[in-house]
Amino acid sequence: MGKADGVRVSGTCECGNKLEIPIAGEDLETFEFTCPACGKADRFTPEQIAAFREGYELLAKSVRDALR
């Protein structure tokens, strides 16, 4: 089983740098991340946060259904 701190989302900075952003245990509404290439700080949009939560709920349901 994977570690909880291994939960990451992929992103691309405005500078073109591709990021793997660790989100496990973070308050996504206030979480800021910084691009290591250009130093730009950024946050997730409400739409992105909703999509993360929806994906998590679908995955959790799938696991619960498989365990039944």
Structural domain spans, the chain: 9-24+32-67
* CA–CA separation, 61 and 63 (whole Å): 5
pLDDT tens, N- to C-terminus, the chain (68 residues): 445 567 899 999 999 999 999 998 899 999 999 999 999 999 999 999 999 999 888 888 889 999 88
pLDDT score, position 1: 45
* CA–CA separation, 26 and 49 (whole Å): 11
Q: What is the pTM of this model?
A: 0.74
| Buried b or exposed e, range 17-44, using 16+ CB within 10 angstroms | eebebebeeeeeeeeebebeeeeeeeeb
